[in-house]
Structure 1
Amino acid sequence: MAKTNPFTFLQQVRSETSKVTWPSRRETTISTIMVFIMVALASIFLFAADQVLGYVVGLIMNAGA
């Protein structure tokens, strides 16, 4: 593995960082909103699935009594 001095390394990092295509403010906002919507939908689905499964397990547990 080749060793480079810290100054050369920082120059290389700066060079590579300038090649990155950064998202615009609008793209970042839209992506953030989409993430919040998907989290809300997933939490609603998991809550509903938990309630249904809890109800079914309760019916099964009380069926033998």
Structure 2
Amino acid sequence: MSKTSPIEFVRQVRQEVAKVTWPTRKETGITTLMVFVMVFLAAIFFTSVDWVIAHGVKFFLGLGA
């Protein structure tokens, strides 16, 4: 494996960055909003599942008392 000089490395990085298709401001905003919505929905889902499991365990453990 040959070593690349720092100057060559920077040149290669600039070439690769030029190939990147950057999202527009609108695309970034929509994607960010979608992430927040999905996080909110996931939080509601997992909180609900946790609540159901917790009450189920309390019910079954309370039967023997």
TM-score (norm 2): 0.96
Q: Specify the alignment match of 1:32 in structure 2.
A: 32
Q: Which runs of 5 or more structure 1 residues have no equivalent in the other structure?
A: none
Query: For 1:1-50, what per-residue CA distance to the aligned partner results, in whole angstroms no more than 9, with x for missing partners?
Result: 11111111101100110010001111110000000000000000011111
RMSD across aligned positions (CA): 0.6
Q: Paired residue for 1:2?
A: 2
Q: How many residues align?
A: 65
Q: Equivalent residues in 2 for 1:5-24 (5 A)?
A: 5-24=5-24
Unaligned stretches of 5+ in structure 2? none
Segments of 4+ moved more than 6 angstroms: none
Q: Percent of counterpart pairs with the same letter?
A: 51
